[in-house]
């Protein structure tokens, strides 16, 4: 399995992504990245202090050329959930084309990933050599959903909630193969499966710059997951989400050629990338996800070394039934430990 990893601007004392990728060049297939001052599926590219790094564009382009020279493909993100009043505008189309033309001249570009049918149509019209990919944020998880937009996209990210539904993946893979489309998946999302607040949250992210300049309603956290997991009774849901353990990645060979790693906002991208490239990790499994939710269950951790041997089989072969039985609760009892406290291993 090869991986697509997300770019972030490092602080001066942080390790650049170029160095991490250079250590694992045979396993990194793509680097995906946003444009500096455009909305995307994550917060705007800023320094850790929260301010836009206006020197960042030249640093970004320098790094993209390094990746290009390594033979790494480049994937530009236009994956904001909302572009507001400009969603159908000629101005947005012109901006998209201008950015792509610039990158083709300076760094090269293999793909764009988008949530916008207008952006997808525009790129296909003017840049037919570029792979136009449907973002995971579109929540496309059925053959029918792919059929609806087949004219707009060359490849698709699978709706992450179906990462453990192997029967569905087989059906979708058969369709993408028959229709000359490529299929990708996101493997380390920490988001809640079928989150009722995803559209609301993604819209907030798309308008984050405007929201920051507004007097807003206080006294609550608009991220639904942080409220939900504040109740310990809900911790079992942490195991019912879409993530895949590094040890289980090999099961997806043949369905997906590239797995996407969420690492654009992660505090330790090397930890994430090395864990999945090596297909092994010892430590708090939540530390590999974006978002991690680790602080919400501290001082407890979810010990990745304590998962039972039948975890993958039980959570994929009986996908729907397993979500409603007691299996996840029993596994949580086994993997949830107090950090720094030695607990005897349980049979798996």
One-letter-per-residue 3-state SS of the chain: CEEEEECCCCCCCCCCHHHHHHHCCCCEEEEEEECCCCCCCCCCCECCCCCECCCHHHHHHHHHHHHHHHCCEEEEEECCCCCHHHCCCHHHHHHHHHHHHHHHHHCCCCEEEECCHHHHHHHHHHCCCCEEEECHHHCCCCHHHHHHCCCCCCEEECCHHHCCCHHHHHHHHHHHHHCCCEEEEECCECCCCCCCCHHHHHHHHHCHHHHHCCCCCCCCCCCHHHHHCCCHHHHHHHHHCCCCCHHHHHHHCCCCCEEEECCCCCCCHHHHHHHHHHCCCCCEHHHHCECCCHHHHCCEEEEHHHCCCCHHHHHHHCHHHHHHCCHHHHHHHHHEEECCCCCCCCCC
Which residue ranges in the chain fall short of pLDDT 70? 37-54, 318-324, 340-348
How many domains is the chain built from? 1
149 falls within a domain: yes
Which residue has tokens 């950015």? 99
Instruction: With beta carbons less than 8 A apart as the criterion, state whether 187 and 273 touch.
Output: no
In a domain, 340, yes or no: no
Q: How far apart are the first and last CA of the chain?
A: 26
In the numeric block, which tokens belong to residue 265?
Answer: 């906002």
The residue behind tokens 């299996």 is 327
Instruction: Answer whether residue 331 is part of any domain.
Output: no
Structure tokens at 179: 């229709």
- CATH code: domain of residue 36: 3.20.20.60
Residue 30 structural domain: 2-289
The whole-number pLDDT of residue 318 equals 64
298 assigned to some structural domain:
no
Q: Is residue 327 part of a domain?
A: no
- What pLDDT score does 51 carry? 53
Q: Which pLDDT does position 55 carry in this prediction?
A: 79
**Alpha-carbon torsion angle 213, 218, 222, 226, nearest 10:** 130
Domain annotation covers residue 65: yes
Predicted confidence at residue 347, as pLDDT, reads: 40
**Residue 142 main-chain phi, psi, to 5 deg:** -140, 160
Task: Give me the pLDDT at residue 206, please.
Answer: 83
Give the burial string for 250-266 (b: 16+ CB within 10 Å, else e). Answer: eebeeebebbbbbbbeb
Q: What is the pLDDT of residue 36?
A: 79
Q: Which residues contact 27 (CB under 8 A, 6 or more apart)?
A: 1, 2, 3, 277
In a domain, 304, yes or no: no
Residue 202: closest CA among 41, 9, 68:
41
Whole-number pLDDT of residue 345: 45
| Per-residue confidence (pLDDT) for residue 339, from 0 to 100 | 85
Residue 347 lies in a domain: no
């Amino acid at each position: 399995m090869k991986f697509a990893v997300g770019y972030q601007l490092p602080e001066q004392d942080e390790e650049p992504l170029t160095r991490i990728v250079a250590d694992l060049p045979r396993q990194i297939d793509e680097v995906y990245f946003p444009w500096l001052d455009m909305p995307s599926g994550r917060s705007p590219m800023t320094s850790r202090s929260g301010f836009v790094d206006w020197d960042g564009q030249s640093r970004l382009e320098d790094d993209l050329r390094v990746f290009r020279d390594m033979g790494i493909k480049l994937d530009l993100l236009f994956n904001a959930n909302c572009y507001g009043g400009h969603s159908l505008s000629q101005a947005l189309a012109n901006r998209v084309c201008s950015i792509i033309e610039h990158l083709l001249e300076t760094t090269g570009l293999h793909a764009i990933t988008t949530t916008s049918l207008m952006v997808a149509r525009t790129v296909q019209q003017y840049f037919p050599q570029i792979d136009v990919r449907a973002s995971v944020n579109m929540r496309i998880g059925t053959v029918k959903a792919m059929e609806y937009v087949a004219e707009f996209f060359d490849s698709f990210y699978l709706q992450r909630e179906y990462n453990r539904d192997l029967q569905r993946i087989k059906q979708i893979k058969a369709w993408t193969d028959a229709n000359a489309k490529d299929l990708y998946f996101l493997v380390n999302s920490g988001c809640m499966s079928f989150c009722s607040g995803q559209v609301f949250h993604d819209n907030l992210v798309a308008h984050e710059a405007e929201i920051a300049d507004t007097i807003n309603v206080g006294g609550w956290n608009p991220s639904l997951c942080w409220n939900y997991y504040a109740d310990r009774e809900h911790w079992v849901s942490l195991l019912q989400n879409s993530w895949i353990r590094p040890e289980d990645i090999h099961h997806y060979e043949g369905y997906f050629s590239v797995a996407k790693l969420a690492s654009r906002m992660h505090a330790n991208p090397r930890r994430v990338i090395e864990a999945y490239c090596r297909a092994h990790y010892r430590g708090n499994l939540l530390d590999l996800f974006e978002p991690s939710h680790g602080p919400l269950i501290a001082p407890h951790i979810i010990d990745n070394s304590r998962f039972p041997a039948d975890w993958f089989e039980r959570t994929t072969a009986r996908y729907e039934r397993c979500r409603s039985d007691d299996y996840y609760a029993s596994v949580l009892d086994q993997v949830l430990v107090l950090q720094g406290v030695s607990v005897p291993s349980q049979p798996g």
